[in-house]
Amino acid sequence: MRIIKSAAIVALMCGCAIATMDVRPASALTLMDFIRGGKKRTSPEHAQPARPLPGVGMIVPQQIDPRMAAKPPRVTGPRYYTYKAEPLRRIATDRLLDPVVTGSVQNGALPPMLRPPLSDARQFLPEINVRATDAVAKAVENYYGGRTDFVWIDSTGVNTRAKSALAVLAQAAKVGLDPQDYAVDVPSDTFDRGDMIAREKELVQFELAMSVATLTYVQDTVRGRIDPNKISGYHDFKRKSVDLFAFLDKLAGSDDAAALIESQNPKSPQFLALKAELERLRALTDATPRVEIAPGTLLKPGQSNPELANVIAGIKLKASESLKAEHAVVLASYQGTPDYTPELVSVVEAFQKERGLKADGVVGQASIRVLTGGETTDSKINKIEIAMEQARWLPDGLGSRYVFINQPAFTASYTDQGTEQFSMRVVVGSKTNQTYFFQDEIQTVEVNPYWGVPQSIIVNEMLPKLRSDPGYLDRMGYQVEVGGRVVPSSAVNWYGSTTSVAVRQPPSSDNALGELKILFPNAHAIYMHDTPSKSFFKRDQRALSHGCVRLADPRRMAAAVLGKSIDDVGKEIASGRNKALQVPQKVPVYVSYFTAWPNKTGTVEYFNDVYDRDMYVNRALDATRNARRAEG
């Protein structure tokens, strides 16, 4: 029987990278064998290079005194940044002097109260201080630099268009935004008619501030308040562009400014579900009730334990309405007895399944954590607000057909014709090898794949062993290339740079990628794939890989994106040949990170922040608020 060193296997068996070499396969040997020492394998006949290659045969590693050798290098992943919010700058009112004021006076476009002598206009306009981000400031300057009328004021002061727009801005919290970011000082209807210059200055200040607030709201609700790429190297998004000048021009001619502004908010079913959940949570006035279950409780079917009463109380509190309705008779008849009967086991299993736990009826640490949950109303609201911000980074409407991976939920789902067809468990990157947050398109399914070992695994995990035993990969049956040429592992200078060294594992039942991988080419070498380590899917916490996404049912996902049957995919695998199957029509894939997200019924579910990314989003939002509140 094999003795498996689990920690090392978890570290190595979960790696991923896209292999591009095309050489004759050698007999396969697993990374488990790599850890244990493996069996001696015959090196490929074609492994001897025809001429010297860089890094090959330059030194004999065994002749180097290990005490004198440099410590093996490390390949590090992306990092998190200290978020730097976009600063505000003052609107260049000197550019607006002639068109807005002089031109308006000359053309009679200004309201009667705004017709001071030209010298007075030149006197007060440079004093007006309205600040905005550069994009908003440019849009305002360009708009008013070519206009002779106003959007938000008329002869009576603040017009009805402004009042309706202000009502929308004041309700920004309903769509997960901060109303303070769009607050504007509104001129009073009463004023000193003896000081018309001051009144004119007040109204022009409001006009510009109102345009800034409205355009800031529109830009925020379309693309989000923060730039995700400035949070960390794990975020990879092309930020949406918003034509602010065109929108302001459209507002000027609109009879319903409120409807026009609100139309810019996301309309996807997922966003609307988050919005409804946010409204529900904010309506709660009492502290969220909680249950306590004694630490260390372990309850198995058929046992008797007084903590069972608290377990059932927790289910009544935290289960969905549909689950409670389905098991209403059992829940209603339970009298607090300690006997864990089969009927109660069924209720617990249903709850575990609903929460993404192993549905075995055993109440242990994972189930207790969910039942006693640290989720307060405030923490849920915060997760919802973060989810609404992040949803704005994605398209407004994910499409009628797509794959959605949610890392905190450890799930991947397939949607077709706007309806989720199935969902499955996945394994994602560990906290030290995090999966990225980005979107792409699935293009290929590769059956019987080679596994190209990532440089991070070669350097961080293989190199120390190879320096003491350079022929190790030869015995394992791995294929090694230097500069594109196949060479024996024993011929490589493992004390030199490994930049031009490539290692891959041939197809086999023990291949780290299993039977297939699903590719959406990206700069991060992340894809979905099979795995021989099926036991990982039984775990509740499945952040275990080097960054790729491992599927519990890869054949089903492959069949879905290929538009084939599962049997057809099985036949391709049974051929034993390494083969790339092109997807007939590219399928969008969202490799996402949401700690709050609606399920297929629209019910919002909450998940643990496995990478602590919500903390970094909160910091970015705080930095943005501070920048917008800063005095100019």
The DSSP code sequence of 546-580 is SSSEEESSHHHHHHHHHT--HHHHHHHHHT---EE
Map tokens 């069972």 to a residue. 308
User: Do residues 151 and 248 make contact, with C-beta atoms less than 8 angstroms apart?
Assistant: yes
The DSSP code sequence of 356-422 is TS--SS-B-HHHHHHHH----HHHHHHHHHHHHHHHTTS-SS--SSEEEEETTTTEEEEEETTEEEE
CA–CA dist 58, 280 (Å, integer): 69
* Three-state DSSP state, 458: helix
Q: Residue-wise over 433-451: b if at least 16 C-beta within 10 A, else e?
A: bbbbbbbbebbbbbbbbbb
Task: Give 485's DSSP letter.
Answer: E
CA–CA dist 151, 219 (Å, integer): 18
529 is catalytic: yes
Pairing label, strands 528-529, 549-551: parallel
CA–CA dist 340, 311 (Å, integer): 10
Map tokens 């309850």 to a residue. 299
Angle at 553 between CA 547 and CA 423, to 5 degrees: 85
Pull the structure tokens for residue 540: 């509740």
14 is catalytic: no
Residues 6 or more apart whose Cβ sits within 8 Å of residue 126: 93, 94, 97
Task: Name the phi and psi angles at 417, rounded to 5.
Answer: 55, 35
Number of residues that make up the chain:
632
**CA 140 to each of CA 110, 134, 247: distance values in angstroms, whole numbers, following the listed order:** 18, 10, 11
Q: 235, 327, 524, 529: which is the annotated catalytic residue?
A: 529
Task: Dump strand ranges (E) for 106-247.
Answer: 131-132, 153-154, 157-158
CA–CA dist 478, 536 (Å, integer): 25
| Longest alpha-carbon distance in the chain | 100
Radius of gyration of the chain (CA): 31
User: Do residues 613 and 431 make contact, with C-beta atoms less than 8 angstroms apart?
Assistant: no
Beta bridge partners of 89: 132
Own/partner contacts of 202-207, CB < 8 Å, gap of 24 or more, are 203/113, 203/114, 203/153, 203/157, 203/158, 204/100, 204/101, 204/114, 204/124, 204/125, 204/128, 204/153, 205/128, 205/129, 205/130, 206/152, 206/153, 206/158, 206/162, 207/150, 207/151, 207/152, 207/153
**CA 67 to each of CA 70, 466, 574: distance values in angstroms, whole numbers, following the listed order:** 8, 16, 50
What is the set of active-site residues?
529, 548
